[in-house]
Amino acid sequence: RVSGMSSSSSTVVYEGWMVRHGRRKIGRSFIHMRYFVLETRLLSYFKRKPQHKMPKLPIKSLHIDGNCRVEDRGLKMHHGHMLYVLSVYNKREKHHRITMAAFNIQEALIWKEKIEMVIDQQQGVVSPDGNTAFSSSQQNAGVENGRKSSSSDRDSQ
């Protein structure tokens, strides 16, 4: 389902149609169906599903790192439709955010879970045994949680 779309630097974690929810200057809210693509370091949305042969530029994209948060905005009504709204933003630049919504709560929760998983992977890479193996920049931060001998602990040998 995802094959062929991945570039060398990033792979698609999750993708699909979601509702782009926003507010105009005069206070009227609007919704548009947009195709969202979540990659290992990027959340983008497009007017149409990007084709493998002709990759399109996204309408908007947000770089995902350990400073990002997914905010649960709860249910909103839009012309009789219930929308479950999520807002994704970076703590360092709160004004730069992507607000997305789904018509059912399950779909919104899947997106929330997938985005949070990507954020967690940017904070510390989780090794297969479930322990957090810190990336080189965070190697020293992991020392105080009791030293377990691992291949990265060179001093213990």
- Per-residue pLDDT reduced to its tens digit, 10-23: 689 999 999 997 77
Mean pLDDT (whole number) for 21-45: 88
Supply the CATH number for residue 104's domain.
2.30.29.30
The structural domain count of the chain equals 1
Classify 90 as helix, strand or coil. strand
Q: What is the pTM of this model?
A: 0.70
Q: What angle do CA 63, 69, 73 make, to 5 degrees?
A: 120
pLDDT value of residue 9:
55
pLDDT score of 117 more than 70: yes
Question: Which range in 90-94, 134-138, 144-148 is most confidently predicted, on average pLDDT?
Answer: 90-94
pLDDT value of residue 157:
47
Assigned domain for 136 exists: no
The domain containing residue 80 runs over which residues?
12-124
